[in-house]
Each structure stands twice: as structure tokens, then as C-alpha cells.
Structure 1
Amino acid sequence: MDLQKPPPPRHQPEGCLVVAVRLPVRIVVLVLVVPVRMVWDALVVIGRLLRDSVLRPLGRILAWAGRAVFVWPFVGLWRYVLTPVGRALAWLGTVLLVVPAVWSYRCLLTPLGHALAWVAGGAGAGLAWLYARVLTPAGHALARLLKGTGAVLAALGAGAYTAVAGLLRYLLVVPARWLYTWVLAPVGRAVAWCARGAGWLLGLVATGAGLALYWTCRVLFVLPAFALWRWVLAPAGRFLAVVAREVGEALGHAWRVAGRISLAVGRALGTLFRWIFVEPVRWAYRTVLTPVGHVLRDAVLRPLAEGLRAVGRVSREALATARDTVRQARADFRRMLFGEPRQPAAVDRREPTARDTRTLGRSTTALTKD
């Protein structure tokens, strides 16, 4: 496993230019980055405070309001309106469409289809008999007739074809072959040889012109550009790369150092704020306000609460007495205006009264007594 590990990177020796650039760049970058990092940390703290104390409660309120305004009405509409209406429509569609369609398919279309299939089977059998017994023998007879006619016509046309072919051979083919062999082929070879010579000459001229143009462009453009790249641009690029690398490393180093400085400053400010404000307030609350509050609670608030409860009880009793007095006065006034109310009439019950109840010593009862 050790043999498979990549070798550690070797650090190249740094020149005096890198060392001379690094220190002032880091000092300048640190001076510039420390305020930015402190402002950044302050903004981060303020953002976290706003997120925890403002944005999250506001987000919860907005989420609840969004659910109350958008989600719950649609849920209620779906659950209590659309679902019952859909079920009712489904039942209505089943009753009005599906059941009649199934009945018509079973009782009408199926028997009709069976009847049509039986009729189509009979028609197919008739057509098959017609094809086998009538059309097939007629087709065979017609094929034999056409075959005999074709043989006769072929015998008649063979002699005419031979005569026409010989005439065309001696009138067209033989003169055309002689013309190609002794006229067109020599002329074509001469034209091809001339074209090859002209192409070689043009290639030679183009090669010379290309070489001249190549060396001209090389001397006028390539060599100066190569010298400019090698002796000017490459050293300047290396120097700028060194400067950019050192600036980047300085920024990273300064950002980390500024973070530590900002953390120390923040802790110092927090400690100072705690010593100046929090600890005195805590001490005042524990040593002054809490005892004073206990004294006020025991000496003032509790007796005051007891007195208020006693006043409340007396007030409730006075109100109840006044309410009863007003009710009695209203009843007396109604009695003076309209008189005494009618008493309910006595109802004759089957049960005897207490004096005339049945006894064991007498034979009479309340039902047989006059």
C-alpha cells in the first residue's frame, strides 16, 4: 500500500522576488481586510438575530395565514363540496348510463351479434362453395387458354426479333465501336496528357509561391511574435502570476487573522457589555428589586387583594339583595294591578286521603265508602 501512495509534493525554492513581495502585500491586505471582516461578522450577528427573532416568527405567521387563506378553504371545498358532488354524479352516471348500457349490451346487442355471426357464417359457406365449384374451374380454363395464346404469339415473334437484332448490329453497333476505338480514345488520351502537364506546371508555380509566402510570413510575423512572447510576455506573466498568487494567499491569511481579531474584539465587547450593563442589572434585580417586590407583595398587594375580594363579595350580596327586592316589588305591583293569580283547581285522585285510608280493622275502603 505504501508503494501505491503518490509522492508528497515538493516545494520549489522561492526567490528573493517572492519574499520581497509577500510581506508588504500581507501587511497592506491585513490592514484592508480587518475592517471588512469585522463588518462582515457584525452583519452575520445581526442577520442571525433578525432570523431568530423576526423572520422565523414572521414566516410562521405567514405560513399559517397562507394555510388559512389558501389551503384550508380548498381542503374544505374538496372535502365537503366536490367529493359529495362527485360521488353523487358518479352514482347518477352509473344509474343513467352504465346500467342501461350493460342491459342493452346483454339483452339487445349480444343476441343481435350472435344472429349476425350466424348469418355471416352461412354467407361465407355459400361464397366458399361458389369459389370452389364455379370460380376455380373457370379460372383454370382461362389460364390454359391464355397460355396457349402466349405460346403461339412467342413462336410468331421469334423470327422477327432475330431479323431486327441483326439489322441493328450492323447499322449501329459496329460503326459506333470503330468510332470509339480509332477516333475518340486517341483524342481523349491526348487531352488527358495535356491536362496532366498543365496541372504539374500549376502545382510547381503554387509550391514556389507558397514557400515564398511562408518564409515572408515567418520572417515578418512569426519570429517577432515568438520573440515578444519569449522575452516580454512570458516574464511579465510569471511576475503577475507570482503577484496574484501572493495576493490570494495574503487575502486568505488576512481573512483568517481578521476572523480571530474580530472574534477577540467581539468577546471583549460582549464582556464589557456584560460588566457594564448585564451584571449591574442582574445585581440590582437580585439584591434590590426582588426583596422590594416581595415586601410589596406581602405588605401591599396581598392585603389589597383580600380587601378587593371582600368588597366584591359585599357588592355581590348587595346586588343579590337589590335584585330580590326589585323582584318582590314587581310582584306586588302586578298583584295590585291584576289581583291574585288563579289557583289551580284540585284534581280528584283515586288514592284516598290520609284520614280515609284503608285500615285493617274496618271492612270499608275509600272506594266503597259513600
Structure 2
Amino acid sequence: MNTEKTSSQPAYEPGGCLTAVARGIALVVVVPVRLVWDALGYCLKHLWRWVLAPLARALGWLIEHLLLIPLRWLWEWLVVPVARALWWLVEHLLLIPLRWLWEWVLRPVARALWWVADLLVVTPIGWLWRHVFAPVGRVVGAALAWAWGIAGRISRAVGRALALVLWHAVGRPLAWAYRVVLTPVGHWLRTYVGRPVAEAARAVRAATREVWRALFGGPR
């Protein structure tokens, strides 16, 4: 009988107790936060409705009637008419006279001056260049080139003549003196002076060594 009664009751679940504890803690933490959030939203809603919105509308009305409307009126009735008047004055007192001056005075005078300069300066200079300066320049250039070539030939001929004169006046006598005089004298000096002097020097050195050994001794 006791066995049937026990089987009819729900089984014990540990997870159900943990869920209940977690829900209780969450309820304790969340309920105050939700109350504060709802109170803050309510206060902000009524603050916007009864304070901020009327203040914004009042500020908008003041900005429109104290700043925008006066600025619009100033632009339409003062700035634009003054600008149009100034532009009319600039156009009729400056631009139109300058345009008329350019079209009827400056441009015709410039054209006349250019025509005179072309007739009296550019055209004569061009004619002189084509018919005088250019032909004369070509002739002078050709003459200078021809003279330069002739001068080069003369310079080479003079150089060869000077070299020939110097060879016969200086080089050939020096070569003859070296071959006929200096070379035999050198051979004679080497044979009859150099060799005896060298032999005498060797004999003096040998005698000096013998005297040194005799007086001070030395290695055998």
C-alpha cells in the first residue's frame, strides 16, 4: 500500500530547486531596476510634454520672430535692393564705359599701331633679312670657312718648314756632335779614366781593410 502511494507522487528533481532559487534572485534584482526604469520613463515623458516641448516651441518662436524674420526682411528690403543699385551703378558707370572705350578707342588704336609697326618696322626688317642680311651672312660664312681652311693649310706648311729648319739648324748638329764627339769621348773616359779610377778605389779599399785588421784586428 505504501509502495503504490509513493509511486503516485512526482519524482524529486534537483534542477527545479535551482531554477526556483535563480528566479528568486533575478526577481529581487530586476524588480527594483524595472521600477526605477519605469519611473524615469514616466518622469521624462511628462518633463518633455510639460517643460521641454513648450520651451522648445517658445525658443523656436523667439528665433523665428527675433532673428529669421528680421534677417529675411533685411535681405529682401535692404541687401538685395542695395546690391542691385550698386550693380547698376558699376555696370553703367564702369563696365559700359570701359566696354565702349575698348571697342571704339583702344582696339582701333591698337590695330592702327600694329599696322604702322608692321608697315614701318616688321616688313622692312623682314625684307632686309631675306634680301640683305641672310645672303650677306651666307657669303661671309662661306668666306670665313674658306679662309679657315686656307689658314689651316698655311699653318701646317709653316709648321713643317719650322720643323725642317730646326732639324737642320739644331737637331742635326747636336746629333753629329753626340755621334762624332760625345760618344768617343765617353768611351775614352770610361776606358782610360773610369776603369783606372775604379781599380784604384778598389785597391784603396783593400789597403784600408788590411790596415784596419793590422791595427785593430778583425775576423779572419
With the length of structure 1 as denominator, give the TM-score of the two structures: 0.35
Q: Which amino acid aligns with 2:186?
A: G
1:236-275 aligned within 5 A: 236-238=128-130, 239-244=132-137, 246-248=139-141, 250-275=143-168
Q: Which residue of 2 aligns with 1:155?
A: 49
The structure-2 alpha-carbon separation of the partners of 1:276 and 1:140, relative to structure 1 and needing over 3 Å to count, comes to farther
* Cα separation, partners in 2 of 1:304 and 1:215, compared to 1, 3 Å: closer
Work out whether 1:307 is the aligned partner of 2:170: no
Secondary structure at the aligned position of 2:169 is classed as helix
Q: How far apart, in 2, do the equivalents of 1:156 and 1:244 lie? A: 103
Alignment CA distance shift 1:153-1:251 (3 Å): same
Q: 1:297 to 1:210 in 2, by over 3 A?
A: closer
Q: After superposition, give the CA deviation of every residue in 1:245-273 in whole Å (9 maximum; x if it has no partner).
A: 55455545544543343233223322322
C-alpha spacing 1:163/1:306, structure 2 compared with 1 (3 Å): closer
Counterpart of 2:189, as a letter, is L
| Greater share of residues in helix | 2
1:224–1:316 distance in 2 versus 1, CA, 3 Å: same
Mapped pair 1:278 → 2:171: yes
Q: What's the RMSD between the two structures over aligned residues? A: 4.8
Percent of counterpart pairs with the same letter?
31
Kindly indicate whether residue 121 of structure 2 is the aligned counterpart of residue 229 of structure 1.
yes
Matched, 1:209 2:101: yes
Q: Alignment length, in residue pairs? A: 175
CA distances 1:2-56 after superposition (whole Å, capped 9, x unpaired): xxxxxxxxxxxxxxxxxxxxxxxxxxxxxxxxxxxxxxxxxxxxxxxxxxxxxxx
- Which residue of 2 is the match for residue 94 of structure 1? none
Tell me the CA shift for residue 226 of structure 1. Answer: 1.3
CA 263–164 in structure 1, closer or farther in 2 if over 3 Å, else same: same
Shift of the alpha carbon at 1:233? Answer: 2.4
TM-superposed CA distance for 1:322, in Å, is 4.4
Q: Which runs of 5+ in 2 are unaligned?
A: 1-28
Q: Partner letter of residue 194 of structure 2?
A: L
CA deviation digits over 1:153-175, x for unaligned, max 9? 1232488579969xx6xxx6xxx
2:150 aligned with 1:292, yes or no?
no
Q: State how 1:1-370 maps to structure 2 within 5 Å.
A: 145-157=39-51, 160=54, 199=91, 205-213=97-105, 214-219=107-112, 221-238=113-130, 239-244=132-137, 246-248=139-141, 250-323=143-216
**Aligned mates of 1:162, 1:290 — CA distance in 2:** 130
Query: Gaps spanning 5+ residues in structure 1: where?
Result: 1-135, 325-370
- C-alpha distance in 1 between matches for 2:203 and 2:90: 135
